[in-house]
Amino acid sequence: MADPVLRSLTHLARKLQQRLSLEEILQLAAETAAEVAHTRSASVRLLDAAGERLLAVARAGHPLHVDQHSAWRRGEGLIGWVAQHVEPLVTGDAQRDPRFVARQDQRSEIGSFIGVPIVSNSVCLGVLSVTDVERDAFDESCVEALLLLATICAPHIEVARLSRLSSADPLTGVLNRRGLEELLQHAESTRTLSIVMVDLDHFKRVNDTYGHGVGDEVLRAVANRLAESVRVSDAVARVGGEEFMLVLPGITRTVAARIAERARHRIERSPITVGSRPIEITASFGVATRAEGESHEQTIARADEALYRAKAAGRNRVELAVRTSTDGDGSRS
């Protein structure tokens, strides 16, 4: 019988020959890592565009922290050390390692840890890691298997990432209209889907007062705050000059409203600093959940109508679309 680790890696390599999305590749990598390490916790984190933060993009098993979307800075903690040094790190007593950084929302003890860099063309793309509650749970063969796994996945991750970039807005880094259309096509079969339309309030004043260069910085900052308000599986798109859209698969109307309110508060609560200049900005939100038999275009139109009502009601607020049939919470109007 074939070695189980070799069998898992062979299955991985065969699956990667298929046309997979970036998310599918990363999830496959995390699940295979858990298999070969015989553990219940594995994750893949990719570096952001600036190469400064490791963002959680896929995981297998139990998340170690309550906030599953929290980021780690390059050089911070065990995972950050791997990204900074672009070297594997293994420890059988993780929480006593001087490089370990504890967070208050940690769910359980960490006994053993392995982190390996995901490298393509000598550039670190991110970190693949596994943990176990037991100390000294991993041996050298496990490290070698994870290094091989990361090596197999790296070029596929890089190709998928570059493909994603062609669908990104060059100013803000969120999805452009092409990327949005592709995403909505993939979401066609999603049972529950919520759309949030976002428009910055009085943005013309920013451009008129400070210039378009400062306006661009504000747009980038707002896009980042929107991205920080949603899950990794959600999407942010720029659909106009100062207009954005949140695409929330599997999210009901009630939860979508909470996400929109969180994003509104995140934008409002602190000025955006450009140079030494603090600029206060707010945004208005319209929320709609796809009704039974409704097209994406119809859902977006209802979210747009809700957005206009938010503007008319004084701006810097969240308005819910009028429900036309069964909504994402299973109720009827």
pTM: 0.59
Q: What is the reported pLDDT for 324?
A: 64
What domain range includes position 57?
Answer: 4-165
Q: What is the reported pLDDT for 332?
A: 33
Same domain, 106 and 238: no
Same domain, 113 and 204: no
Q: What is the reported pLDDT for 333?
A: 30
- Annotated catalytic residue, options 242, 268, 280, 319: 242
**C-beta of residue 260 within 8 angstroms of C-beta of residue 287:** yes
Q: What does DSSP say about strands 112-120 and 272-274: parallel, antiparallel, or unpaired?
A: unpaired
Q: Which residues of the chain have pLDDT under 70?
A: 1-2, 49, 65-69, 164-165, 232, 324-333
Q: What is the reported pLDDT for 65?
A: 66
Q: What is the reported pLDDT for 330?
A: 46
Same domain, 64 and 138: yes
**Is residue 259 in a domain?**
yes
Q: Given CA atoms 246, 308, 320, 206 in this order, what sign does their dihedral have?
A: positive
Q: What is the reported pLDDT for 67?
A: 60
**What's the gap between Cα 33 and its chain centre?**
20
Same domain, 118 and 159: yes
Same domain, 190 and 148: no
Q: What is the reported pLDDT for 1?
A: 38
144 is catalytic: no
Q: What is the reported pLDDT for 325?
A: 54
**Is residue 95 in a domain?**
yes
Q: What is the reported pLDDT for 2?
A: 59
Closest CA to 303 of 229, 177, 194, 187: 194
